[in-house]
Amino acid sequence: MSPSNHLDNPVWAALSGPHTGHAERYGRSARYQPEISPFGAVDDPADPRAWDDLRALTGRGNRALVSAPGITAPPGWTTESVPGVQLLGAGYHGAPDPEAVLLTAGDLPDILDLVRRTRPGPFGKRTIELGAYLGIRRAGRLVAMAGERLRVPGHTEISAVCTDEAYRGAGLATRLIGAVTAGIRARGEVPFLHATAGNVAAIRLYERLGFSLRTEIRFMAATPD
């Protein structure tokens, strides 16, 4: 499978590749350890037998967040889905930022507080273990953040891009995306992003930076009946 094809099923590619150490596996299914991320995946979203393995892994009544272009669950699952987009930064290289600091477990209370206030998407107590998360502080307070989430062969996803409402419009998110991208490029990888289709402002920002639409994607919360 070529590196670009890994992006067609990115959660599976991450959990069966660079993030295998963070995975719980059963047959042809996998999920992140719950405190890291709610994302799960199957190796072939079109095969009901792979979904049977995910059912066994998650357990009846427990939700898994799955994501892939055009993904649907077979009968026996209750689902809620949101349309999204996947953007690829093939021509974007970013740049380090002198004010961006590497966030660690010691910053977790501030990280979770910023996440609570800005709601950038799923973020758990151990999400920062997935990659480098960078932040900018003002008067000691964490006011902006961005980091690395899914990592697949040849690519790393930029995620948790968020800015405190009082500091929006100052370009902090742009600077942090650039700084995270610089770290990804230093490993010889290409950045990519996901966004809900309705988040027009974020998509426009990413496109101004040089990201382009690769495919439409679906974010689906799936619970086995």
Q: Name the domain boundary from 60, 83, 106.
A: 83
Q: Name the domain boundary from 53, 83, 113.
A: 83
Tell me the β-bridge partners of 87: 193, 213
Domain assignment of residue 19, given as a range = 3-83
CATH of the domain at 45: 3.40.630.30
d(CA 49, CA 62): 18
pLDDT digits (tens, 9 = 90+) for 57-74: 998 889 999 998 989 999
pLDDT digits (tens, 9 = 90+) for 200-212: 999 999 999 999 9
Find the range with the poorest average confidence among 43-52, 61-70, 89-98, 124-133: 61-70
Task: Please give the C-alpha separations between residue 205 and each of 135, 175, 178, 201, 212, in angstroms, as whole numbers.
Answer: 18, 12, 12, 6, 11
Q: Is there a single domain that holds both residue 121 and residue 54?
A: no
| Radius of gyration over every alpha carbon of the chain, rounded to an integer in angstroms | 17
Q: Is there a single domain that holds both residue 147 and residue 211?
A: yes
Contact 76, 49 (CB under 8 A): no
Q: Is there a single domain that holds both residue 76 and residue 123?
A: no
Percent of the chain with pLDDT over 90: 93
Q: Specify the pTM.
A: 0.94
Percent of the chain with pLDDT over 70: 98
> Reduced to 3 states, what is the DSSP secondary structure of residue 192?
strand
d(CA 220, CA 182): 31
> Reduced to 3 states, what is the DSSP secondary structure of residue 30?
strand
